[in-house]
Amino acid sequence: MDRELLRRHLERIREMGISELFYSPTSPEDKRAMSPSERERIEEGKRAPQGPAVSEAESDHPLDEINRVIRSCTRCKLSEGRMNAVPGEGDYNARLVFVGEAPGAEEDRLGKPFVGRAGKLLDRMIDALGLKRNQVFIGNVLKCRPPDNRDPEPDEVEACSPYLDQQLDIIDPLVIVALGKFSAQYLTGSTLAIGKLRGQEIKRGNAVIIPTYHTAACLRFPDYKKPVWEDLRKALQIIRERERKS
């Protein structure tokens, strides 16, 4: 890493409110320690174009089929106020998946997940992990924006969650990072507060769920950034260990 890259990396870390140095898995030393397949995957991610090569409308990938259904879904009352449904996006073979609560105003406007301020913070954390956004999958429990960003209601979660279940079944990730209370409670089936769920590793099929705070909460409470960063590092570590064993 040259001096300018190192300086920008340190600035990103400081913006996240963390004063200690991160371990970056793409440093030259770490790259040398990686297996050839790990190095190849990182390089592939850098070369990969943003977005799918084939448009959703043309693709017969099962996830694109689900996206099309979501975009015209009227299964709950949230369909009435949305500008765009937000199915989620990213690598359809991702080992790491992030699941948040629901789209916000910016996501509703653009039809893309995590593109507001909380999304930008998530992007910086993904970058600091040494990954690209298009190497992970990012989605939400609800695919349409609740009015005024209110909490999801039980009937909405019940109506919408089968889409998330199908997406996770198809992607079959190794780790799912559950961002915030609603995501963590839905994915784990627990009613515990996020502060109690955080720190646990919970199995869901083939995946391990890592509950952590939502990046929107990190913007309100900067002290949350450090535990979230630690959880993301743990997620990456679990993926590497599981890949090594397979």
Contacting positions for ligand SF4 (CB under 6 A): 70, 73-76, 78-79, 85, 142-144, 156, 159-160
Residue placing its CB nearer to ligand SF4 in the complex, 84 or 200 = 84
Residue with tokens 């909405």: 156
The total of other beta-carbon atoms located within 10 Å of residue 222's CB is 12
N-to-C CA span, the chain? 30
Residue placing its CB nearer to ligand SF4 in the complex, 162 or 199 = 162
CA 67 to chain centroid: 17
Residue placing its CB nearer to ligand SF4 in the complex, 85 or 228 = 85
Give me the least distance between CB of 58 and ligand SF4, in Å please. Answer: 22
Residue 196 Ramachandran class (φ > 0 left, ψ -120 to 50 alpha, else beta): alpha
Structure tokens at 32: 């040398």
Residue placing its CB nearer to ligand SF4 in the complex, 126 or 142 = 142
Give me the least distance between CB of 81 and ligand SF4, in Å please. Answer: 10
Structure tokens at 24: 């970056």
Give me the least distance between CB of 78 and ligand SF4, in Å please. Answer: 4
Residue placing its CB nearer to ligand SF4 in the complex, 36 or 154 = 154
Answer positive or negative: Cα dihedral of 199, 90, 115, 143.
negative
Give me the least distance between CB of 141 and ligand SF4, in Å please. Answer: 9
Give me the least distance between CB of 235 and ligand SF4, in Å please. Answer: 26
Give the alpha-carbon dihedral of 158, 135, 118, 111, to 10 degrees: -60
